[in-house]
Amino acid sequence: MKTLQGTPDHIRGQRIGILTRTPKTWPARRHYILLATSRTAPGYAGAILAHAVRRAPFAPAAVSGLPPAALADLHDGDILALTPDGTVAVLWDGAQQSNGILMTERCNCRCLMCPQPPKEDAPGLDETNDRLLQLLPEIRPDTICITGGEPTLKRTRFLKTLDAITRELPQAAVDILTNGQTFADFEFARAAAECAPARTTFCISLHADTAALHNRITGSTDGFARTLRGIRNLGKLGIPVEIRFVLMRLNHDRVAEFARFVGQNFPFVVHVALMGLEMTGKALENEAQVWVEPAEYAGSLRIAIQELRRRNVPASIYNVPLCLLDRRVWPAARQSISAWKNGYLPACESCQGKTFCCGVFTTSERFSQRIRPVDPADIQPLQDYRNKYINDKIKLCGGPSE
């Protein structure tokens, strides 16, 4: 999440609102944070001041002292949180597709490669999310992620959130990032299916085709059985399911067999994402079991994509740069890294493939040693592929709602 640091002015508690540079009329103001150059007016949720001004009576809570470059990076329609210490947090970045509602930081798994290790929820998280749900109908986003930790741990709140989205934003494409274990309870799966808006995909993490390996990776005793039952229950309810597999040292040599397992047992899934590592958090702590040089699995990854393609299961590769992939699977590689943590290495300087490549996580602390510019001669087929499918979002972006 993008954050900026400024000077607070009379901020009591968290002030959350939609950024606007255009003044709003009453009573809409209460949902907005005005970015003002001179004066502010009463009624706004908050204000961002280009420079400190004399405080008017009833002026909203404000943050000032942000450099112009930072201000330029905030867009109308972003949802910001102003905190008493002068931090401006971007809860919702209007320029991005992958904004999410963080339901909880707690999790029922302890994955070896977790980039955001579980912890207790910050106080006020539920209230923040309530406020977010209040504001989203104003900006009408196309896509919403529901994420965590494990978002379904707060069952009632989870269902209520889905319900609110269905009522206020029925057209939104919703991706729920979950390990699927709670859906082993068929009644809960049914309730979620009933509450969720029409364009919802349940994105379920599965990291092996065998119980022992998956449970070792996820730090759970029966996670594999519960996740598979969750997938099956959602399948029975006719709910779109996506499977997400993170490639790491422990499982990368099984990725082709994994693809076969998914295609054979869950042929109804709408998408499979095979994902590279974000080397931060637990992934870094467990480096010895987790880190693998992506170039090492280029061969088996190619076979995995082929197995899925043979079975007519849409598949994508996330977070692995083009130079580390077999060229034949480049059409499956996606621009998968959120803009705020997306970057390139010095080695990428002269590479002409950057526009097509996901690059690396700026949050990662370890990178492949084999990243290097791709052969320019190989770029044209990629451009041709993009042009050919320019209107076919599934083929370009992978998955129904990315």
* Residues at the interface with other proteins (CB under 8 A): 209-213, 224-225, 228-229, 232, 254, 257-258, 261, 264-265, 267, 306, 309-312, 331
By beta-carbon proximity to other proteins, the closer residue of 229 and 282 is 229
By beta-carbon proximity to other proteins, the closer residue of 68 and 238 is 238
Torsion of CA 280, 245, 328, 323, to 10 degrees: 0
CA atoms within 13 A on the CB side of 96: 23
C-alpha triplet 323, 326, 331: angle, nearest 5°: 90
* Min CB(261)–other proteins separation in Å: 5
* Min CB(212)–other proteins separation in Å: 7
* Min CB(334)–other proteins separation in Å: 16
Report whether 233 contacts 192 (CB < 8 A). Answer: no
By beta-carbon proximity to other proteins, the closer residue of 113 and 184 is 184
By beta-carbon proximity to other proteins, the closer residue of 15 and 226 is 226
- Count of other CB atoms within 10 angstroms of residue 327: 15
* Min CB(219)–other proteins separation in Å: 18
* Min CB(307)–other proteins separation in Å: 9
Report the SS3 class of residue 247.
coil
By beta-carbon proximity to other proteins, the closer residue of 311 and 341 is 311
Phi, psi dihedral angles at 238 (to 5 degrees) = 75, 25
Rounded CA gap, 396 and 389, in Å?
6
CB neighbour list of residue 257: distance below 8 Å, 6 or more residues apart: 209
Which residues are registered as beta bridge partners of 88? 4, 82
* Min CB(109)–other proteins separation in Å: 18
Report whether 305 contacts 259 (CB < 8 A). Answer: yes
By beta-carbon proximity to other proteins, the closer residue of 212 and 288 is 212
Rounded CA gap, 303 and 311, in Å?
12
Rounded CA gap, 384 and 402, in Å?
21
CB neighbour list of residue 282: distance below 8 Å, 6 or more residues apart: 110, 111, 112, 113, 114, 115, 117
User: Locate tokens 């068929």: which residue?
Assistant: 186
Residue-wise burial string across 46-60, b where 16 or more C-beta atoms lie within 10 A, e elsewhere? bbbbeeebeeeeebb
By beta-carbon proximity to other proteins, the closer residue of 91 and 228 is 228
Q: How far is CA 184 from CA 71, 125, 154, in A?
A: 46, 27, 15
By beta-carbon proximity to other proteins, the closer residue of 159 and 211 is 211
* Min CB(230)–other proteins separation in Å: 12
* Min CB(253)–other proteins separation in Å: 10
* Min CB(225)–other proteins separation in Å: 5
DSSP state of 361: E
By beta-carbon proximity to other proteins, the closer residue of 8 and 263 is 263
Rounded CA gap, 88 and 37, in Å?
17
The two structure tokens encoding residue 22: 């255009």
* Min CB(309)–other proteins separation in Å: 6
By beta-carbon proximity to other proteins, the closer residue of 119 and 388 is 388
